[in-house]
Structure 1
Amino acid sequence: MRTGLASLLLLGTWATAGTMPASAADAPEPPARSSDAPASVGLLDAMQRDLGLTKAQAEARLAAEKAATAVEPKARRAAGASYGGSWFDAGSGKLTVAVTAGATDAVVDAVRETGASIRTVKHSARQLDAAKARIDKLSAPKGVSSWHVDPEAGSVVVSVVSAQRADNDVQEFLARARAAGPVTVEKSAEAPRTFAAGTVGGDPYYTGNVRCSIGFSVHGGFVTAGHCGRAGAGVSGWDRSYIGNFQGSSFPENDYAWVNVGSGWWTVPVVLGWGTVPDRLVRGSAEAPVGASICRSGSTTHWHCGTVLGKNQTVNYSQGAVHQMTKTSVCAEPGDSGGSYISGDQAQGVTSGGSGNCSSGGQTWYQPINEILNRYGLTLHTA
């Protein structure tokens, strides 16, 4: 705890709150560039701890995921209208691309030439997205946790709280969802919740009596979760000095916001490693594929890693549904809301909510960073 607090205060002073940068002796060691070592010792340790990998396996996986991330847009273009989705296969270390059964030999050959593996599916990504869009128009009861397109399953997966599976409203929703398109039902142990505490890369901030975590620096401010504050609300930093105000905020429907930075504070392209890993430089926002490893930084549980489980999910919080979310196996707890999800040195999104905790294990969702940047016309601050 003391180590984490020391790291927080050091970076808070250097990154956002002071009027002078820390001396060279006090500054944290800069993260290695992507072209340097595969990853820091701390990052490899976190992946070994949270993903059950050896050091060699973690290094190999990071290299394979980087290659898969570069292949994905090429394979998507090659598949065209036959594209059924894609995911990273940790077993083979390759990107798997789904193509519909009607794809021509030329299309299949073009996809294979990108280096991706191929799986034949019944429904295209466009068809599955259309089915999900129809389900998004339905009113969901509290017993329905979330729903998303799963290209590997070839359907829209609807997650239902186990204890409420037999509820009449849940059954009615499932019947209407199945009428909208191919649906698979899965069980979840509990309903999702947001991770705002009673008081947002990983550093805390406060608005009123709520504490959240900073997501990523943008030019002029930072992005975070929408449920942490409404437009116009004032924001103070880790030291309780004034930073700025929420300039835009959306929740539910979405869960994103941005805060302007002033009053002697400034932004830097850094995500806190909390002493587990060196603080990470942010160099872009290339989207990691499903199946890739991903890590999260937040002001409560600090640094944790897992994998991307699914994209374009709709999460049904008690306050209302939130769309276009990405699900992960990374844990989080109250106060982590708004914090950073990063894959290598690429920003992925900001923490929204989830279930479970970092003691017994859990799952979380994040709002993708590129959607937030596009919505508010912001530019990510990169190194």
Structure 2
Amino acid sequence: MKIARLLGAAATAVMATGALTALAVPASGQDLLNPDIVPAMQRDLGLTHDQALARLKSEDVASKVTATLSAALGDALGGVTYNAASGKAHVTTTNATLVGKIREAGAEAEVVKFSARQLSSTVDTLNAADKAAPAAITGWGVDDTTNRVTLSVLQGQRAAADTFLTQSGVDKSSITILETASKPTTYANIRGGDAYYIGGSSRCSVGFSTTTGFLTAGHCAALTGGGSLTGSNGASLGSWGTYRFPGADYARVNTNSNWTPVGQMNNGTRVTGSSNAATGTSVCKAGSTTGWTCGTIGAKNQSVRYAEGTVNGMTATNVRSAAGDSGGGFIAGNSAQGILSGGNTSVTYFYPIGAALSATGTTLRLG
């Protein structure tokens, strides 16, 4: 049986550490994990040195198991999270007969009501009703930890959220309404992590090097009229390629001969590939304002309502960031995860790297 073969393969799979980021300038240091990663995880996740190393190792294994199980379960997949306490992937399913197979593959198992495809369909319905949503609603998206779609609304405005849900026609039992203190904003004050400048004033951050330049946030281009680009040393950087914002938040920059894109972050961390790490996995970001900060991956497929328009398909994190970090790269281990878009005082969102690479027709520069 195909699903049994796939689940069996997951049980014996071992994942190489993977993570990423990029720079538009030459950098040194080829260590698989830059020394800055572990101290940042210690500081931001409250871990000891040995705990940080052990977590990175278990997350690598869990990610491999997760990828195989997600493909094997298909419509029966509920969602995937990383359980830091056990060091395992936590995989949910709508089919109770698959619990044993999931456990055999090396993951924790749980039976839930809604499938991942059902929840994604609910998000699609809300996305289609975006223009009718009141200003008090700040966004919505899938939360694998609760097997629900969460809808965020400003404090004291739950009634407005409930009315919107009724009008949209979604199954309210699949929705959790959460109140938030403030609206998300883009961090478009314009290095992975180096600074670059637009029009000689606005500052953003390099996300990931590609074979022809680098990827960054689309709003860094859209909100500045696609102005001229210079690097952190003042030299001409190159030109804008494809970019999009809102709807999505990605941009391609084609660098000129003044710059050599390398597969590293600005602290020397190598970029060895890309992945879609599970909710709960530790993740770090490099930005030109707050530097190297870490946290964990939160809910996915989030629709974030900025003043300039809604961006769909984003991932939430609790990683600290600020204006000027826009475009900076998020990595899990040595695998690229996404490009920093924006957030508020409690959450930072990134646009997934896979979608950005596909939309821009680019390939990561690996270190």
Identify the TM-score tier after normalising by the shorter chain.
0.7 to 0.9
The question of 1:155 aligning with 2:141 is answered no
Given candidates 174, 178, 182, the residue that maps to 1:190 is 182
Given candidates 325, 330, 337, the residue that maps to 2:319 is 330
The question of 1:222 aligning with 2:210 is answered no
Say if 1:227 and 1:61 are closer, same or farther in 2 by CA, change over 3 A.
Answer: same
Q: CA deviation at 1:152?
A: 2.4
Aligned to 1:86: 80
**% identical aligned pairs:** 40
1:343-382 equivalent positions in 2, closer than 5 A = 343-356=332-345, 362-382=346-366
Q: CA deviation at 1:113?
A: 2.1
Query: C-alpha offsets along residues 66-86 of structure 1, whole Å, 9 cap, x if unaligned?
Result: 111111111113323211111
**1:333 aligned counterpart, secondary structure:** coil
- Give unpaired runs (5+ residues) of structure 1: 1-14, 22-26, 34-38, 274-278, 357-361
- How much is the aligned-residue C-alpha RMSD, in angstroms? 1.9
Say if 1:232 and 1:212 are closer, same or farther in 2 by CA, change over 3 A.
Answer: closer
Given candidates 218, 232, 238, the residue that maps to 1:238 is 232
CA distance, structure 2, for counterparts of residue 215 and residue 179 of structure 1: 36
Aligned to 2:297: 308
**2:354 aligned counterpart, secondary structure:** helix
Q: CA deviation at 1:177?
A: 4.8
Query: Is the contact made by 2:96 and 2:111 (CA closer than 8 Å) also made in structure 1?
Result: no
**2:261 aligned counterpart, secondary structure:** coil
Q: CA deviation at 1:32?
A: 1.9
- Give unpaired runs (5+ residues) of structure 2: 1-22
The question of 1:286 aligning with 2:286 is answered no
Larger RCO, structure (CA 8 Å, separation 6 or more):
2
Say if 1:126 and 1:16 are closer, same or farther in 2 by CA, change over 3 A.
Answer: closer
Opposite residue 115 of structure 1, the aligned amino acid is G
Opposite residue 215 of structure 2, the aligned amino acid is V
Aligned to 1:121: 112
Aligned to 2:103: 112
CA distance, structure 2, for counterparts of residue 183 and residue 311 of structure 1: 14
Aligned to 1:62: 56
Opposite residue 176 of structure 1, the aligned amino acid is Q
Say if 1:263 and 1:78 are closer, same or farther in 2 by CA, change over 3 A.
Answer: closer
Query: Is the contact made by 1:301 and 1:332 (CA closer than 8 Å) also made in structure 2?
Result: yes
Opposite residue 360 of structure 2, the aligned amino acid is Y
Q: CA deviation at 1:179?
A: 2.9
Greater mean alpha carbon deviation, residues 172-181 or residues 263-272: 172-181
1:8-47 equivalent positions in 2, closer than 5 A = 16=24, 28=28, 30-33=29-32, 39-47=33-41
CA distance, structure 2, for counterparts of residue 262 and residue 229 of structure 1: 17
**Number of corresponding residues:** 339
Greater mean alpha carbon deviation, residues 305-314 or residues 228-237: 228-237
Query: Is the contact made by 2:152 and 2:179 (CA closer than 8 Å) also made in structure 1?
Result: yes
Given candidates 38, 45, 68, the residue that maps to 1:51 is 45
